[in-house]
């Protein structure tokens, strides 16, 4: 039994924290942010990856260089020497004495029983998968990707079977993933723009669970345009109340909820347990 199922024995659903918890001087996608998330009772740390031009792995969500590093260049066009010379800007916009994390440092720091969801890593799987093998964390690392034949083929060929979760945006992708018998698919992340989406329907969610797969639903709100699950998001949960957001995701069958607000979601989960 993997760590996910062990944790689900203790909780009705698991809390996945998006980029860790960052406020004030603590910056997203850093070890301090991940410490903060753990202290907020998260079960899964969502981590973004990039690879430098000389093949080194770092924890960073590209596209945020101007905001976080004061740079106009995409970090993926930099070599490791250039990346190591950069300093973060904190949440108040001030330069701080903190560098972009190396993936190896994050893995070594959190080796244990916390789940690590490696996001935006799929384009690097040619070198990332062999690199990960040295850490012996195949039951702790949860990989994800869009449903793409090249990604799935690479996962199937790799001898170490990491936990895997495809990002499902249409019904046909469920069948496509399940056709692969040598991938350790344990969950599916489902995206639904509104209540009319096929991936919002109970029959679809039940069909996923009948395949012994878990369901990951996003409560994060990235901006005003991107809707990840029918508007039942963190903003709604905090401003209107959990019953209008997180509760709806639990009612839909979410086994894992990704959030930017792990502490309030944890308090909701504790109250939810009392009703059961």
> pLDDT tier at 1 (50, 70, 90 boundaries)?
low
Sign of CA pseudo-dihedral 85, 86, 90, 96: positive
SS3 203: helix
For the stretch 202-240, what's the b/e string if a residue is b when 16 or more beta carbons lie within 10 angstroms of its beta carbon? eebbeebeeeebbbbbbbbbeeeeebbbbbbbbebbbee
Tens digit of each residue's pLDDT (9 = 90 or more) over 54-78: 999 999 999 999 999 999 999 999 9
Whole-prediction pTM: 0.97
pLDDT above 90 covers a percentage of the chain that reads 98
Residue 221 has pLDDT above 80, yes or no: yes
Answer for the pair 104, 91: CB distance below 8 angstroms, yes or no: no
Q: Which whole-number Å values give the CA distances from 148 to 2, 77, 142, 189, 230, in the listed order? A: 25, 24, 17, 14, 24
Answer for the pair 119, 63: CB distance below 8 angstroms, yes or no: no
- Spell out the domain ranges in the chain: 3-48+108-274
Q: What does DSSP assign to residue 96?
A: -
Tens digit of each residue's pLDDT (9 = 90 or more) over 10-47: 999 999 999 999 999 999 999 999 999 999 999 999 99
Residues 173, 182: Cα–Cα separation, whole Å = 17
Tens digit of each residue's pLDDT (9 = 90 or more) over 138-193: 999 999 999 999 999 999 999 999 999 999 999 999 999 999 999 999 999 999 99
Sole residue written with tokens 């101007």: 66
**Which class would CATH give 3-48+108-274?**
alpha beta
Answer for the pair 29, 36: CB distance below 8 angstroms, yes or no: no
């Amino acid at each position: 039994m993997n760590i996910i199922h062990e944790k689900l024995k203790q909780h009705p659903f698991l809390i996945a924290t998006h980029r860790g918890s960052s406020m004030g001087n603590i910056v997203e996608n850093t070890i301090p942010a991940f410490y903060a998330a753990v202290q907020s009772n998260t079960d899964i740390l969502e981590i973004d990856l990039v690879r430098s031009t000389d093949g080194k792995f770092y924890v960073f969500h590209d596209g945020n260089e101007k905001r976080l590093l004061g740079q106009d260049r995409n970090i993926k066009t930099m070599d490791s020497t250039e990346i190591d010379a950069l300093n973060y800007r904190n949440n108040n916009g001030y330069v701080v004495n903190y560098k972009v994390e190396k993936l190896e440092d994050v893995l070594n720091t959190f080796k244990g029983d916390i789940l690590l969801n490696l996001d935006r890593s799929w384009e690097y799987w040619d070198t990332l998968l062999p690199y990960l093998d040295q850490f012996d964390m195949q039951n702790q690392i949860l990989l994800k990707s869009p449903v793409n034949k090249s990604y799935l083929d690479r996962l199937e060929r790799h001898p170490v079977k990491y936990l895997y979760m495809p990002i499902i945006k249409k019904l046909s992708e469920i069948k496509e993933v399940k056709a692969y018998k040598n991938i350790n698919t344990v969950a599916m992340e489902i995206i639904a723009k509104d209540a009319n989406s096929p991936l919002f329907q109970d029959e679809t969610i039940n069909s996923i669970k009948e395949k012994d797969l878990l369901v990951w639903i996003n409560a994060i709100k990235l901006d005003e345009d991107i809707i990840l699950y029918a508007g039942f998001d963190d903003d709604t949960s905090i401003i209107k109340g959990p019953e209008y957001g997180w509760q709806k995701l639990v009612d839909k069958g979410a086994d894992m909820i990704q959030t930017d607000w792990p502490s309030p979601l944890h308090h909701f989960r504790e109250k939810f347990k009392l009703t059961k």
